[in-house]
Amino acid sequence: MDEKILQEARAYLEDTKDDWNYILPEDLEKQRKKKDFYILDIRRPADYAAGHIPGAKNIFWLDILKPENLKKLPKDKKIIVYCYVGHTSSQVMTLLKLLGYDVVSLKFGMGKSPAKGVPVAGWLDFGLPTSKSVQKNAMYTKNEQNLCIENLDRVAGSLEHKGMLEEAKKIDIISNTLEALNFSNKPREV
């Protein structure tokens, strides 16, 4: 076993905070306009082009460790990395942290699973803006609202079943708030 890798891995775990190196979509949106961090989208370039978090830069996850791509990443800013649902960004976050970058992962990613029928509660599920937000007058239909709330409820149930009660409560609160606010005044994503 490589002792240096083991020491770095131990240091990584010791530095892990209560947030588990994640940021929630609504927290990122509150902070996004401050621009004191670097947002990294590691999805396929075609998916990035179809819509991404405003201000995000794209480096496909399989290319992240190429020297020319590592040079693009700031050492003096926090990096927020995201993917489709958060799994791949967690792995990339770990690699970058071990290389000395200040990185967190966007919990639930964009909220758009590449696998059909997999409910997630990511950026899009919260109705947060993307580079492709259009038509300020276009509204969510009642069916779209219900689908979003149902997906959030399913995610909360799944988290609760897995013993993640605090996370389930947060999702329940968001779902109930959206339902109570009748969020039809938000722009529709296309």
pLDDT digits (tens, 9 = 90+) for 44-97: 999 999 999 999 999 999 999 999 999 999 999 999 999 988 889 999 998 998
Q: Answer whether residue 119 shows pLDDT above 80.
A: no
Q: Find the domain containing 53 and state its range.
A: 3-127
pLDDT mean across residues, the chain:
77
One-letter amino acid at 166 equals: E
Q: Mean pLDDT highest for which of 3-17, 78-92, 121-135?
A: 78-92
Q: Domain boundary at 127, 143, 166, which?
A: 127
User: Does residue 75 share a domain with residue 112?
Assistant: yes
User: Does residue 86 share a domain with residue 178?
Assistant: no
- The CATH number linked to 69 is 3.40.250.10
Confidence (pTM):
0.59
pLDDT of the residue at 134: 36
User: Does residue 117 share a domain with residue 154?
Assistant: no
Taking CA atoms, 113 is separated from 110, 117, 137, 162, 176, in Å, by 8, 8, 27, 19, 23
The tally of domains found in the chain comes to 2
Strand order in the sheet with 78-82: 22-23, 103-106, 78-82, 37-41, 57-58
User: Does residue 141 share a domain with residue 117?
Assistant: no
